[in-house]
Amino acid sequence: MSIMYSAVQPSGNLTIGNYIGAVRNWVRLQSEYDCFYAIADMHAITVRQDPAELRRRTLELAALYIACGVDPEKCALYVQSHVSAHAELCWILNTLTYVGEASRMTQFKDKSRNHADNVNMGLMDYPVLMAADILLYQADHVPVGADQKQHVELARDLAERFNSRYGETFKVPQPLIVQGEARICSLQDPSKKMSKSDENPNASVFLSDDRDTIIRKFKRAVTDSDNRIAADAEKPGITNLLNIYCAFKGCTMSEAEGSFAGMGYGDFKLAVGETVADVLAPIQAEKQRLLQEKDVLASVLNAGAERAFKAARKTLSKVYRKVGFWRE
């Protein structure tokens, strides 16, 4: 099968947007590709983290993935820092990366603005480490949203640059833009993507939110001036709620609109909240069960790291020979 690589940072709580746009697709894609799924703790420390909190979130994220349906028998699920080759290849790729192209990365500029008191070299090097993540496993495809496509383009450029200088070594990865998934937007500002770092606590629904919290957030969601429940560019609040409902209910937009025809906004928002809560409840219960079996989680992550290490070391050894590092 073709190889696919993807990773998510264990920083902040994942939102229902992350679930629809990323995690749920991981579950589907693991049957179609040879998948390497990483918990990107090395990327996470480019902004300040509480060490104990980072360790806790790393284990919780592993439990969440498995609870959502990620199967360690079908993929390599591992912690990024457990495979040192990520950092080693990053250093090699740094020597091929121009300061100008690194400083132009959108995420570097955004994080520099948001963390002005901690503009460190890790922020600038973030896309190079991401390129190392991808190229280590000779990934054919990388599932990304439109906002991450720039990083895959850098990985492609570095692969081609290395291959041109040292000979054919890396596959040139292709971004895999998942089609058909609606963009999940903020409940308070539907012009923005739902974010786990939004300062407004009512803007995002987290996978860790309990049922009452989920329903309360949907009841407070921004709607529109008239009471017609229909998808319309002029009705971004209602359209966003309909998209969320369709994603969690598994129905079409026309089916959703028919279900809510003539219904008031209050009942509509309650129905959306209850639908989301119903889907998340068994996931949350399974996650808590797994967290009670930390030795099992550790075994899963260690096995994933061992599989990832073997694949990564094969690539890194080839790279070291190509650049001229002496080995017996």
pLDDT in tens, 2-16: 999 999 999 878 999
Cα–Cα dist 272/242, whole Å: 8
pTM score, two decimals? 0.90
Contact status, residue 10 vs residue 65, Cβ threshold 8 Å: no
| DSSP summary character for residue 206 | B
Catalytic site includes residue 322: no
Average the pLDDT over 111-118 and give the result: 70
At 147, the pLDDT band (50, 70, 90 cuts) reads low
* Residues whose CB falls within 8 Å of the CB of residue 208, separated by 6 or more in sequence, listed in order: 13, 14, 284
Catalytic site includes residue 196: yes
pLDDT the model gives residue 144: 81
Q: Which residues pair with 264 in a beta bridge?
A: none
At 252, the pLDDT band (50, 70, 90 cuts) reads very high
| DSSP summary character for residue 147 | G
Average the pLDDT over 146-159 and give the result: 85
How many residues does this entry show for the chain?
328
- Of the candidates 111, 235, 269, 287, the residue annotated as catalytic is 111
- Cβ neighbours around 186 below 10 Å, total: 22
Contact status, residue 173 vs residue 315, Cβ threshold 8 Å: no
pLDDT the model gives residue 196: 86
- Of the candidates 196, 219, 318, 322, the residue annotated as catalytic is 196
pLDDT the model gives residue 112: 67
pLDDT for residue 85 is more than 90? yes
Residue in the structure block whose two tokens are 């012009």: 191
- Of the candidates 149, 171, 193, 318, the residue annotated as catalytic is 193
Q: Distance between terminal CA atoms of the chain? A: 33
- Of the ranges 120-124, 182-186, 205-209, 214-218, which one carries the lowest mean pLDDT score? 120-124
pLDDT for residue 44 is more than 80? yes
Average the pLDDT over 255-281 and give the result: 96
Cα–Cα dist 281/288, whole Å: 11
Catalytic site includes residue 111: yes
pLDDT the model gives residue 109: 66
| Domains of the chain with bracketed CATH | 3-177+294-323 (3.40.50.620), 211-288 (1.10.240.10)
